[in-house]
């Protein structure tokens, strides 16, 4: 099996040039100005198009039992939507309930993906309890190819860990060279404020962001990074949403704490007024941390441009509006949290980031692919275009014009938070390890082609 992509403009995190790319079996084997088509090769003309390394979403939820329901995608629909949007690798949060066994949960999450996913995948192993048995199992899970843990300071009683568990998890992570991804919000402040708002009769979706203002997230970041400072563990802050939290992370970095920062496409493009929409429409925009004041968008775009913020993810967590979001009709604290966007991340980053002059093409590749691969021990197999790398490629058509709509999306959810938004470009061809998975917006790949990516810890 061989594939030749001709005349495309190759864009990596640090280079830009026109060349042909030859892929044999699963790997890029040659890049040259002109490559004559070998016999039997599938030839694609990419003239006038960009060729990006396959994008990696470092924070998704596909199988997610949460707030009394389950998120809507599975690996069949989720991986196809990801690929259509140019994402060729997913790193999913494996989120056991507190009472669940870590190893059994890891197996369960794995069984959801194997044989179904059309794109490659790995997991961040959620540590929702820390005791002797869990510690032993975490060591086994790391040996099985997981090099990142996930902890929640929020959602006490469900996924959240207490400070003793946090300290011990970070110590283990440091010993094993595992990086710890963390949801940072002070749970006590959230739950007290929720109670106060409900008692005052404030029950609508617009109250969600009142219950968890920027100081709640900033305190979570500061709290976690104090523990990181004392244990030496490497930290990856997930879904950072605002200036106050960013200030805390940057201050810790200046003290020598090893911290990477992820923001989300939602925080770069939406603001809290969406969650204030009338007739319960705001529920579509409820997620945690919440959407913020618009002024934060500029700060986050600048953070990406200047290297303060390392990655852009989706935190894809799809819950239907018609049924699931209605669970919070009379109490905003019961609205399942999440804004689906797995399919839209790259087109939004390109249209509202690159085309608007907020970031350049190299930054787009860096924050949505290269840095993710480097942080999570996948580089240079993933995250770049070079001989020896996996042939995960996105031929991107900058002349495409279209609109996002629930009517045309592939994510299995009954609304789009970006309904009617214009996009100025889309992937015209996507490959996963040399196999074509998408042509002109249509999935043409194979269910089950996706592989579990074994990762080796490097954050000692
Ligand atoms: O609102 C969100 N972010 N939902 C998914 C769960 C999480 O906190 O990552
Ligand atoms: Zn979270
Ligand atoms: Zn999440």
**pLDDT tens profile 378-390:** 999 999 999 999 9
Q: Is the peptide bond before 380 cis (omega within 30 degrees of 0)?
A: yes
Instruction: Residue 195: count other Cβ atoms within 10 Å of its Cβ.
Output: 12
- How far, CA to CA in Å, does 428 sit from each of 83, 120, 236, 439? 11, 19, 32, 6
Sequence spans of domains, the chain: 54-375
Q: Is the CB of 78 under 6 A from ligand 1?
A: no
Give me the pLDDT at residue 21, please: 98
| Helix, coil or strand: residue 249 | helix
Ligand 2 centroid to Cα of residue 26, in Å, is 34
Nearest CA-CA partner of 122 in 431, 372, 297, 399? 372
| Lowest-pLDDT range of 62-66, 157-161, 227-231 | 157-161
Q: Out of 2.60.120.920, 3.20.20.140, 3.10.20.70, 3.40.50.300, select the CATH number for domain 54-375.
A: 3.20.20.140
CA-nearest residue for atom 8, ligand 1, is 288
Q: What is the pLDDT of residues 4-60, one digit of tens each?
A: 999 999 999 999 999 999 999 999 999 999 999 999 999 999 999 999 999 999 999
CA-nearest residue for atom 1, ligand 1, is 287
Residue ranges of alpha helices (H) inside 200-240 are 208-211, 214-231
| Lowest-pLDDT range of 107-111, 155-159, 217-221 | 155-159
Q: Which long-range contacts (CB under 8 A, 24 or more apart) does 274-283 make?
A: 274/417, 275/205, 275/206, 275/208, 275/209, 276/205, 276/206, 277/205, 280/204, 280/205, 280/325, 280/326, 280/329, 282/204, 282/205, 282/206, 283/205, 283/321, 283/325, 283/326, 283/328, 283/332, 283/335
Q: Is the CB of 212 under 6 A from ligand 1?
A: no
Report pTM: 0.98
| Helix, coil or strand: residue 348 | helix
Give residues with Cβ within 8 angstroms of 289, minimum separation 6.
185, 212, 216, 217, 239, 240, 241, 242, 245
Q: Is the CB of 124 under 6 A from ligand 1?
A: no
> Taking a C-beta distance cutoff of 8 angstroms, is the pair 339, 266 a contact?
yes
pLDDT at residue 157 greater than cutoff 90: no
With a pLDDT cut of 70, the percent of the chain lying above it is 100
Ligand 1 centroid to Cα of residue 315, in Å, is 6
Pairing of strands 16-24, 2-11: antiparallel
- CA dist 37 and 4 (Å) reads 7
- CA dist 90 and 432 (Å) reads 12
Q: Is the CB of 264 under 6 A from ligand 1?
A: no
Q: Is the CB of 318 under 6 A from ligand 1?
A: no
Q: Is the CB of 92 under 6 A from ligand 1?
A: no
| Helix, coil or strand: residue 185 | coil
Atom of ligand 1 nearest to the CA of 286: 1
Mutational pocket test of ligand 1: of 59, 61, 73, 339, the residue with most ligand atoms within 8 Å of the beta carbon: 61
pLDDT at residue 156 greater than cutoff 90: no
Averaged pLDDT for residues 342-352:
98
Q: Is the CB of 116 under 6 A from ligand 1?
A: no
Q: What's the whole-number average pLDDT of the chain?
A: 98
Pairing of strands 393-397, 426-432: antiparallel
Atom of ligand 1 nearest to the CA of 152: 8
- Residue 25, by phi and psi: left (phi above 0), alpha (psi -120 to 50) or beta? left
Q: Is the CB of 61 under 6 A from ligand 1?
A: yes
Averaged pLDDT for residues 83-109:
97
Q: Is the CB of 287 under 6 A from ligand 1?
A: yes
- CA dist 87 and 291 (Å) reads 24
**Residue with token string 């996002």:** 404
Give me the pLDDT at residue 11, please: 99
Nearest CA-CA partner of 211 in 46, 385, 328, 342? 328
Q: What is the pLDDT of residues 375-429, one digit of tens each?
A: 999 999 999 999 999 999 999 999 999 999 999 999 999 999 999 999 999 999 9
Q: How confident is the model at residue 216 (pLDDT cuts 50, 70, 90)?
A: very high
Residue ranges of alpha helices (H) inside 148-201 are 163-176, 187-199
- CA dist 445 and 423 (Å) reads 24
> Taking a C-beta distance cutoff of 8 angstroms, is the pair 447, 432 a contact?
no
Q: How confident is the model at residue 118 (pLDDT cuts 50, 70, 90)?
A: very high
Ligand 1 centroid to Cα of residue 288, in Å, is 5
Averaged pLDDT for residues 320-344:
98
Ligand 1 centroid to Cα of residue 375, in Å, is 21
């Amino acid at each position: 099996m061989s594939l030749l992509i001709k005349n495309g403009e190759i864009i990596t995190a640090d280079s830009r040039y026109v060349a042909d790319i030859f892929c044999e079996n699963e790997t890029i084997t040659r890049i040259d100005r002109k490559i004559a088509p070998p016999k039997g090769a599938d030839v694609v003309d990419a003239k006038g198009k960009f060729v990006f390394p396959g994008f990696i979403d470092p924070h998704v939820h596909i199988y997610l039992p949460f707030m009394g329901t389950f998120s809507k995608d599975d690996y069949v629909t989720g991986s196809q939507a990801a690929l259509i949007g140019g994402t060729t690798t997913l790193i999913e949060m494996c989120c056991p309930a507190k009472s669940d066994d870590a190893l059994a949960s890891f197996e369960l999450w794995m069984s959801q993906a194997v044989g179904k996913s059309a794109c490659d995948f790995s997991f961040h192993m959620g540590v929702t309890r820390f005791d002797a048995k869990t510690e032993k199992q975490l060591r086994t899970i790391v040996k099985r190819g997981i090099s990142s843990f996930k902890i929640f300071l929020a959602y006490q009683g469900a996924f959240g860990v207490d400070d003793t568990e946090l300290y011990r998890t970070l110590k283990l992570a440091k010993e094993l060279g595992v990086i710890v991804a963390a949801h940072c919000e002070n749970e006590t402040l959230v739950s007290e404020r929720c109670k106060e708002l409900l008692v005052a009769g404030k029950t609508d979706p617009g109250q969600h962001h009142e219950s968890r203002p920027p100081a709640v997230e900033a305190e979570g970041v500061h709290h976690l990074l104090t523990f990181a400072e004392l244990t030496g563990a490497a930290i990856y802050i997930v879904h950072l949403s605002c200036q106050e939290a960013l200030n805390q992370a940057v201050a810790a970095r200046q003290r020598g704490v090893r911290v990477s920062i992820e923001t989300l496409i939602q925080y770069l493009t939406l603001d809290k007024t969406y969650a204030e929409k009338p007739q319960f429409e705001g529920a579509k925009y409820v997620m945690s941390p919440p959407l913020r004041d618009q002024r934060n968008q500029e700060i986050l775009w600048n953070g990406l441009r200047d290297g303060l913020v390392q990655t852009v993810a989706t935190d894809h967590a799809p819950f239907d509006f018609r049924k699931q979001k209605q669970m919070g009709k009379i109490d905003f604290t019961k609205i399942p949290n999440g804004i689906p966007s797995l399919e839209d991340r790259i087109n939004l980053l390109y249209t509202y980031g690159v085309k608007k002059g907020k970031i350049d093409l190299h930054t787009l590749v860096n924050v949505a692919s290269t840095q993710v691969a480097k942080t999570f021990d996948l580089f240079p197999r993933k995250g770049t275009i070079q001989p020896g790398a996996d042939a995960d490629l996105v031929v991107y058509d900058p002349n495409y014009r279209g609109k996002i709509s629930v009517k045309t999306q592939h994510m299995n959810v009954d609304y789009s938070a970006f309904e009617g938004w214009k996009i100025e470009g889309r992937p015209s061809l996507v490959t996963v390890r040399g196999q074509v998975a998408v042509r002109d917006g249509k999935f043409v790949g194979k269910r089950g082609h996706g592989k579990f990516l074994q990762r080796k810890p490097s954050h000692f």
